[in-house]
Structure 1
Amino acid sequence: MPPFPFSAIVGQDEMRQALLIAAVDPAVGGVLVFGDRGTGKSTAIRALAALLPPMNAVAGCPYNCDPASPADLCPHCATTPGARKKSEKKAVPVVDLPLGATEDRVVGTLDLERALGAGVKAFEPGLLARANRGFLYIDEVNLLEDHLVDLLLDVAASGVNTVEREGLSLRHPARFVLVGSGNPEEGELRPQLLDRFGLACEVATPTDIATRIAVVRARDAYERDPDAFCAAHAKEDAATRKRIEAARKRLPAVTVPDAALEQAARLCLALGTDGLRGELTLMRTARALATLDGAGTVTDDHLRRIAPAALRHRLRRNPLDESGSTVRVERALAEVFA
Structure 2
Amino acid sequence: MKLALILNVIDPKIGGVMIMGDRGTGKSTTIRAIADLLPKIEVVEDDVFNSHISDYELMGESIKEKIDKGQNINSILIKVPMIDLPLGATEDRVCGTIDIEKALTEGIKTFEPGLLAKANRGILYVDEVNLLDDHLVDILLDSAASGWNTVEREGISIRHPARFVLVGSGNPEEGELRPQLLDRFGMHAEIRTVKQPSLRVQIVEQRSKFDSNPYECLNEFEAEQEKLKRSIIEAQSILSNVSIDYDLRVKISEVCGELDVDGLRGDIVTNRAAKAFAAYNSKDQVEISDIKQVIALCLRHRLRKDPLETIDSGFKVKKVFENIFGSS
Contact (CA 8 Å) 2:21, 2:171: kept in 1 or not?
Answer: yes
Q: 2:288 aligns with which of 274, 280, 300?
A: 300
Return the alpha-carbon distance in structure 2 between the equivalents of residues 71 and 173 of structure 1: 7
2:201 is aligned with what amino acid?
I
Stretches of structure 1 lacking an aligned partner (at least 5 in a row): 1-14
CA offsets per residue over residues 26-73 of structure 1, 9 Å max, x none? 011101110000111000000011111111222221101112212442
Q: Which residue of 2 aligns with 1:5?
A: none
Measured after TM superposition, the shift of residue 265 of structure 1 is: 1.3
Counterpart contact for 1:140–1:182, Cα < 8 Å: yes
2:2 pairs with 1:20: no
Which one of 90, 108, 111 corresponds to residue 96 of structure 2? 108
Aligned partner (choices 84, 103, 118) of residue 96 of structure 1: 84
User: Cα 1:301–1:83, aligned 2, differ >3 Å: closer, same or farther?
Assistant: farther
| Pairing of 1:114-153 with structure 2 (within 5 A) | 122-153=110-141
Q: What is the CA-CA distance between 1:193 and the residue it aligns to?
A: 2.0
Q: Structure 1 residue 85: deviation in Å? A: 4.7
Q: 1:182 aligns with which of 170, 174, 179?
A: 170
RMSD over aligned Cα, in angstroms? 2.2
Partner of 1:266: 254
Task: Kindly state the Cα deviation for residue 333 of structure 1 after the two structures are TM-superposed.
Answer: 1.9
Q: Distance in 2 between matches of 1:225 and 1:114?
A: 51
1:110 is displaced (CA, Å) by 4.0
In 1, Cα distance between the equivalents of 2:286 and 2:227? 23
Match of 1:7 in 2: none
Answer yes or no: is the 8 Å Cα contact 2:274–2:291 preserved in 1: yes
Letter in 2 for 1:54: K
Distance in 1, Cα, partners of 2:71 & 2:101: 26
- 1: CA distance, partners of 2:319 / 2:155: 56
Moved more, 161-170 or 289-298: 161-170
- TM-aligned CA distance change 1:206 to 1:124, over 3 Å: same
Task: Name the residue aligned to 2:32.
Answer: 46
Secondary structure in 2 matching 1:38 = coil
The residue aligned with 2:179 is 191
The answer for the alignment partner of 2:147 in structure 1 is: 159
- Equivalent residue pairs, number: 324
Aligned pair 1:216/2:204, yes or no?
A: yes
For normalisation by structure 1, the TM-score amounts to: 0.90
Task: Describe the shift of the 1:112–1:135 C-alpha distance in structure 2 as closer, same or farther (beyond 3 A).
Answer: same
Q: Deviations over 1:271-305 (max 9, x none)?
A: 11111111111110010001111112101101111
Q: State the identity as a percent.
A: 46
Q: Deviations over 1:298-329 (max 9, x none)?
A: 01101111111010001012356432211211
Matches of residues 198-209 of structure 1 in structure 2 within 5 Å? 198-209=186-197
Counterpart AA for 2:128:
E
Shift of 1:121: 5.1
